[in-house]
């Protein structure tokens, strides 16, 4: 059984998808970019975008009744691998050990010309 998760504290989906789907014991959060849900605009700069992405994910996790401590897998998409250290430092400040598995991928373009996008899988029955 699946259940769509939605909160107004994170940006609305940019297409025909859910912010997150609860499927059994797993929560799959769709890719989030640095859109401020209050303005609908992407924030400026890699640091601000990274923080906004994680804030958006956190809002979705809260709506689903979970948090970053239950994360099992992150995927990070970067416009430039040159931003890796900055993103890694901010990302790490939201998490604690044991850290989730992760992939980091440089891509040619992201929605709304974002500099970073992240998605996350959470195990909710831990």
Model-level pTM? Answer: 0.95
Q: What is the pLDDT of residues 4-55, one digit of tens each?
A: 999 999 999 888 999 999 999 999 999 999 999 999 999 999 999 999 999 9
Helix (H, G, I), strand (E, B) or coil at 105: strand
- Distances in whole angstroms, Cα of residue 15 to Cα of each of 18, 19, 37, 61, 119: 9, 10, 15, 20, 15
């Amino acid at each position: 059984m699946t259940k769509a998760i939605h909160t107004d504290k994170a940006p609305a989906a940019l297409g025909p998808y859910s912010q997150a789907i609860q499927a059994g014991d797993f929560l799959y959060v769709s890719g989030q970019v640095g859109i401020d849900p209050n303005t609908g605009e992407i924030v400026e700069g890699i640091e601000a975008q990274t923080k906004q992405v994680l804030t958006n994910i956190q809002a979705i996790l809260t709506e689903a009744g979970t948090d970053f401590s239950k994360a099992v897998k992150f995927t990070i998409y970067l416009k430039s691998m040159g931003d890796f250290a900055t993103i890694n430092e901010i990302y790490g400040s939201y998490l604690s050990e044991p850290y989730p598995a992760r992939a980091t991928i440089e891509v040619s373009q992201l929605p709304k010309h974002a500099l970073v996008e992240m998605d996350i899988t959470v195990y909710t029955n831990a």
